Amino acid sequence: MKVFEFQNGDKMPMLGLGTWKAAPGQVYDAVREAIKIGYRHFDCAAIYRNEEEIGQAFEDVFAAGEVTREELWITSKLWNNAHGEENVLSALQKTLADLRLSYLDLYLIHWPVALKPEVLFPESGTDFFSLEEKPIANTWKGMENVVKAGLTRHIGVSNFTINKLKQLLNTCDIRPEMNQIEMHPFLQQPEMIKYCQEQHIFLTAYSPLGSGDRPDILKSSDEVSLLENEVIMRIAEAKGCSPAQVLIQWALERGTAVIPKSANPVRLKQNFESTTVQLGPDDMNEIARLDQHARYIKGIFWTMPESPYTVEELWDE
């Protein structure tokens, strides 16, 4: 398994398991099965509301001696309603209690968007704080504090643009080591890859298979399927593998980590075995031409009348 090696020598397996939408009642089995298959990297978040069940699975695999804590890489994310230096510690403590861990490997600011403490998802413009009211630089101090307290080994961000990374790099003491963003053949983000390579920030690709099981409210009528894309299907057929395996291996060959979600034992195994597929330069060039700057996670849930956030500002477009 390819790994990212961090400056302190820690190693993160580049292929991990996404856990958004892995339903309570199923995610326990999915995590246990994934560990049997060989997954050692798990992508979690407080807002996925399944961390308790994932924590039960971790506790049980450790007790059964299947893996040790040190063999796993566990990421989680600070939800938008806990921005502010003073709120990070308690949010992380809740995640650690739910996951039944004493430390995380990586803790990310989930979005550069701040919500009022009592709000999980906004319903009106008054549910938000602006970034002037809750500056990222201040939230980041809270992230640095939890590194110093030994509660997470690394910190980073998610859904940050190059501009927002630049602003953060100007004010931070501990540099962000990861940006987790949507990336797949329809949204290839070449400038972000170049910038993060220069700045020694690792990238993780989310929704690498097109996030087909998103709630309908997050879907738009003009959406196109990645898994059914003609080029991806043709390459898969030629290699004797599945379209999902092409998409996963494509992400790895570009030097990004990738966290496909599955709760199905057959697809979990298939996704893990993507690394046996080899894509050549012709395949990579053909896939490069599929870029259409199209997002599945558009961030429209942060934009509504009187919200301080706009899609243009969110993505710097």
Ligand X SMILES: O=C1CO[C@H](CO)[C@@H](O)[C@@H]1O
Ligand Y SMILES: NC(=O)C1=CN([C@@H]2O[C@H](COP(=O)(O)OP(=O)(O)OC[C@H]3O[C@@H](n4cnc5c(N)ncnc54)[C@H](OP(=O)(O)O)[C@@H]3O)[C@@H](O)[C@H]2O)C=CC1
In degrees and rounded to multiples of 5, residue 168 shows phi and psi of -65, -40
Nearest CA to 29 out of 261, 259, 211, 264 is that of 264
Which residue of the set 39, 48, 296, 309 is catalytic?
48
| Separation CA 109–CA 149 (nearest Å) | 17
| Separation CA 142–CA 146 (nearest Å) | 7
Q: Is the Cβ–Cβ distance between 94 and 88 less than 8 Å?
A: no
When binding is defined by CB under 6 A, the residue of 44, 45, 88, 168 that contacts ligand X is: 45
Instruction: Indicate the residue among 3 and 297 with the shorter CB distance to ligand X.
Output: 297
27 binds ligand X (CB under 6 A): no
The entry of ligand Y, ligand X, none near residue 298 (CB within 5 to 8 angstroms by kind) is: none
Number of residues that bind ligand X (CB under 6 A): 4
Binding site for ligand Y (CB under 6 A): 18-21, 43, 110, 158-159, 180, 206-213, 227, 242, 244, 259-264, 267, 270-271, 297
Whole-number minimum distance, CB 259 to ligand Y, in Å? 5
User: Mapping DSSP to helix (H, G, I), strand (E, B) and coil, where does residue 1 land?
Assistant: coil
CA dihedral 1, 232, 197, 103 (to 10 degrees): -50
Instruction: Indicate the residue among 103 and 301 with the shorter CB distance to ligand Y.
Output: 301
| Paired tokens of 95 | 């995640």
Instruction: Indicate the residue among 215 and 305 with the shorter CB distance to ligand Y.
Output: 215
Whole-number minimum distance, CB 303 to ligand X, in Å? 13
In degrees and rounded to multiples of 5, residue 114 shows phi and psi of -115, 135
Whole-number minimum distance, CB 39 to ligand Y, in Å? 12
Closest-CB residue for ligand X? 20
Q: Is the Cβ–Cβ distance between 152 and 145 less than 8 Å?
A: no
91 binds ligand X (CB under 6 A): no
Catalytic residues: 48
For ligand X, the binding residues (CB under 6 A) are: 20, 45, 47, 297
